[in-house]
């Protein structure tokens, strides 16, 4: 019988959790309602896992913080609780593997709701097991964001800012950002585009993104263009545009890109040339001594 080996390392429990992947469709909805009106909608939740999922469905507030739009799904002081306007049925269901459940929801802003933008999130959450007692607990959730506009006199205003672009980059990619500020009282969508074109014509890369910008916030979106200077060095016209509230703001600049691999070869060549030149100079001086 083999000898027992003692270890002071902490014990770890290995397990294979059932695969449960939740998806919700659509992931967002934009609604326009009059004060006191009532909207009825549906969304679907799919269990794409290999085990049954016991789900609960609920509504939470939706706010954001920072220019990167980190979501907050809890109440924020002095904000209207639009989540209290939303009701969803059913509130729970067990969904078979590869199965789908349809949720019905209503949105009913009160008659005294002020015109403007309001936000909430509808969540589907699945849990399995109970932590402790020899079992492992885990949960997953997916949500749909509701962008609610209460109709009436409102303010629509905003502006865009573009991050600075370097004149020279020793990289095959170029990252830059567009920041859109919403100075109004209602959310809007901003269509943002980045493109890079060689100065001699053509197009090497183009990126498009569409995002919501909430009232009183600034949203920064970053994209990385692929410049691909095949012959070591390339000169590109980089253009960025932001379109919202029926107007377009544009920024363009020339950028020189050097492929890092070619830069290393060029640097090595320069160093080798300098060394050869130095040896020639020393040899010439030695002959004159």
Asked if residues 182 and 215 have their Cβ atoms less than 8 Å apart, the reply is yes
Query: Is the same domain home to 138 and 213?
Result: no
Number of domains in the chain: 2
Token pair in block for residue 213: 């910008």
Residues 132 and 245 in one domain: no
Q: What percentage of residues in the chain have a pLDDT greater than 70? A: 78
Residues 146 and 162 in one domain: no
Cα 159 vs. chain centroid, distance in angstroms?
A: 20
29 & 132 share domain: yes
Statement to judge: residues 31 and 143 lie in one domain: yes
CB of 178 closer than 8 Å to CB of 204: no
Q: What is the spatial distance between Cα 265 and Cα 161, in angstroms, rounded to a whole number?
A: 38
35/145 same-domain check: yes
138/163 same-domain check: no
Q: Residue 220 in contact with residue 243, Cβ under 8 Å? A: no
Residue with the two structure tokens 């500020």? 181
192 belongs to a structural domain: yes
Average pLDDT over residues 74-90: 92
Rounded to an integer, what is the distance from CA 271 to the centroid of its chain?
44
pLDDT average, residue stretch 94-105: 95
Q: 1 lies in a domain? A: no
Burial class (CB in 10 A: 0-12, 13-18, 19+), 120: buried
Task: List pLDDT tens digits, range 116-132.
Answer: 999 999 999 987 644 44
In this structure, of 24-38, 69-83, 248-262, the range with the lowest mean pLDDT score is: 248-262
CATH number of the domain bearing residue 209: 2.60.40.10
Q: Do residues 129 and 157 touch, judged by C-beta distance below 8 A?
A: no
According to DSSP, residue 152 is labeled S
pTM of the shown model = 0.80
pLDDT digits 0-9 by tens, 191-200: 999 999 998 8
pLDDT in tens, 24-65: 999 999 999 999 999 999 999 999 888 888 999 999 999 999
Q: Residue 242 CB: number of other CB atoms within 10 A?
A: 23
Q: Does one domain contain both 96 and 144?
A: yes
Rg from Cα positions in the chain: 29
Q: Cα(89)–Cα(278) distance, rounded to whole angstroms?
A: 83
43 and 139 fall within a common domain: yes
Q: Which residues, including other chains, have CB under 8 Å from residue 262's CB and lie 6 or more apart?
A: 229, 231, 232, 233
Domain of residue 114 covers 22-150
Domain membership of residue 207 (yes or no) is yes
Residues 145, 28: one domain?
yes
Q: Examine residue 15 and state whether it is found in any structural domain, yes or no.
A: no
Residue 162 scores a pLDDT above 90: yes
Looking at the DSSP assignment, which residues form a beta bridge with residue 262? none
């Amino acid at each position: 019988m083999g000898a027992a080996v003692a270890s002071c390392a902490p014990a770890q429990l290995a397990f294979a959790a059932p695969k449960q992947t939740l998806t919700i469709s659509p992931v967002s909805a934009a609604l326009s309602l009059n004060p006191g009106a009532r909207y009825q909608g549906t969304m679907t939740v799919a269990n794409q896992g290999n085990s049954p999922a016991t789900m609960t469905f609920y509504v939470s507030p939706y706010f954001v913080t920072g220019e990167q739009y980190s979501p907050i799904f809890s109440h924020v002081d002095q904000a209207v609780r639009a989540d209290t306007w939303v009701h969803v049925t059913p509130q729970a269901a067990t969904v078979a593997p590869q199965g789908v459940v349809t949720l019905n929801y209503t949105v009913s802003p009160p008659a005294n709701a002020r015109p403007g933008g309001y936000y909430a999130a509808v969540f589907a959450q699945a849990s399995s097991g109970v932590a402790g007692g020899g079992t492992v607990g885990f949960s997953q959730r997916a949500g749909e964001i509701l962008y609610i506009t209460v109709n009436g006199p409102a303010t629509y205003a905003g502006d865009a800012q573009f991050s600075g672009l370097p004149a020279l980059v020793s990289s095959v990619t170029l990252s830059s950002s567009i920041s859109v500020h919403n100075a109004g009282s209602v959310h809007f969508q901003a269509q943002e585009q980045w493109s890079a074109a060689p100065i001699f014509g053509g197009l090497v890369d183009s990126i498009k993104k569409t995002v919501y910008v909430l009232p009183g916030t600034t949203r920064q979106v970053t994209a990385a263009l692929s410049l691909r200077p095949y012959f070591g060095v390339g000169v590109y016209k980089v253009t960025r545009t932001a379109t919202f509230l029926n107007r377009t703001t544009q920024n363009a600049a020339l950028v020189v890109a050097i492929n890092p691999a070619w830069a290393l070869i060029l640097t090595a060549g320069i160093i080798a040339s300098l060394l050869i030149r130095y040896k020639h100079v020393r040899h010439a001086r030695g002959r004159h001594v």
